[in-house]
Amino acid sequence: MKRKYPKGRLCRHTLKGESPRNSKSANRIHLDAITDKKNLYEAFRKVKENKGKPGIDKVTSDEFERDLGTNLDTLQSELIKGRYSPRPLRKLRIPQWNNKPRQISIPTVRDRVAQQAVLNVIQDDIEAGFYDCSFGYRKGIGAHDAIKSICDLIAEGNHWIVKGDIKGCFDNIPHSRLLELCSNSIKDREITSLLKKMITAGLAAPDDHEQIQSLGTPQGAVISPLLANLYLHQLDAFAVTRGFNLVRYADDWLMLFKTQEEAQAAATKTLGYIKGALGLTSEVKGGADTVSNLQQEFTFLGYTFFPGGMKPSQKSQKKLIATLPDKIHKHLKETENVHKSHTIELVAGGVNPVLKGWYDYYSLGGGKKIYRTIDKEVRKIVRHVARDEKHHPVTNTYMQQRGLLSLESFL
């Protein structure tokens, strides 16, 4: 049978145990590059582009921008003179489609700009020391690269799977060890001192006091993904030096082997390392059965892999349908001052970008049967929302003529 896996780049460091490029240039980073006014303006542009919520001071990016020059001048002065002090983080629970809210900790816009300014300068140099088996939150690397590497490993006969995720990774990274890694990666004391302030920023308490934390790099902080990757680089090194075929995307990880014995031994060693050396807990998918075979299928990064191919997971399909009504209503709310009626054309304006984005990600696998099933559910939602089309039978052809796209049309 001709394999249906997309051909991709192999994780050569993972497969051969090669060392990544040593980042000597990190020793030449200085605070001047961070406090440069052009860098601060670029940092604000990225923060505003991300459309994040305000922090504890309730200042939005639009409000910060109204006096941008003065605000950046003040921030620059504080950074240069060593007087910069992050404000406490705002705790926020974000509703999720599966009714399991996610808690994040949000810095103020000012502090996000400071973090982004640091990130702009140090990211390339720190990432230069990472292994190729790390894919999450990397510049120029993404989930598709991870998926293609998995496919290559499967094609080479690695059909025994160990899959897990690190529970509460962002919340439980020990500050002391993380700061040590920062100092080893960046030799400039002013920058490492600045990073320490950002890492140890406390949470805002109800009584206006600050709750000091000794663990975690908060989800919601601009710099947290890089710091988490720096900490988990230790796991990558552990796996690579032992010849394990690791694919890691942030705190989700996967290893593939040719035999069950290899997979079981690697699972035991890796779980022990995560708990002992990293001080974290990893939940292996499958409960007591830590090792599975490709014949049983497995899911990673939204794809379900099976012998001969892969497809969008059931969870990813359910999530698309479950979240679509809210996305349509958000679109309608944004356009309600212009349009008073919910026509097919207007509803399609909210649906089409969602379908296109979903297809762009899941275009590596799937097929007409899955797309037809989803398209059918999407049309049900559109018929329900487009209540002002009662004067005309809302058939599939009519919706298509009015501009509604379908997943099947992308094939």
C-beta of residue 203 within 8 angstroms of C-beta of residue 213: yes
Q: Is the dihedral of CA 217, 219, 221, 222 positive or negative?
A: positive
pLDDT value at residue 290:
76
Here the tokens at position 166 are 């690190």
Q: What is the pLDDT of residue 4?
A: 57
Whether the per-residue pLDDT at 18 is higher than 60: the answer is no
**80 vs 29: which has the higher pLDDT:** 80
Quick one: average pLDDT of 321-337? 86
Mean pLDDT to the nearest integer, 314-339: 86
At residue 143, φ and ψ (nearest 5 deg) are: -65, -35
Cβ–Cβ under 8 Å, residues 147 and 235: no
The predicted pLDDT at position 24 comes to: 46
* Highest mean predicted confidence (pLDDT) among 17-21, 206-210, 237-241: 237-241
* pLDDT for 333: 85
**Residue 2: its pLDDT value, please?**
42
Confidence of residue 25 (pLDDT cuts 50, 70, 90): very low
Least confident span in 204-213, 302-311, 341-350, 358-367: 204-213
**Whole-Å CA distances, 288 to 163, 184, 203, 346:** 12, 38, 36, 50
Q: Which pLDDT tens digit goes with each residue over 373-405?
A: 999 999 999 988 887 666 677 889 989 999 999
Of the candidate ranges 98-107, 130-139, 208-217, 388-397, the one whose mean pLDDT is the lowest: 208-217
In this prediction, residue 285 has a pLDDT band, given cuts at 50, 70 and 90, of low
Instruction: Write out the two tokens for 219.
Output: 């989800």
Residue 210 pLDDT? 54
Q: With CA atoms as reference, report the closest residue to 405 among 349, 330, 325.
A: 349
Question: pLDDT (tens digit, 9 = 90+) per residue, 156-180?
Answer: 999 999 999 998 898 899 999 999 9
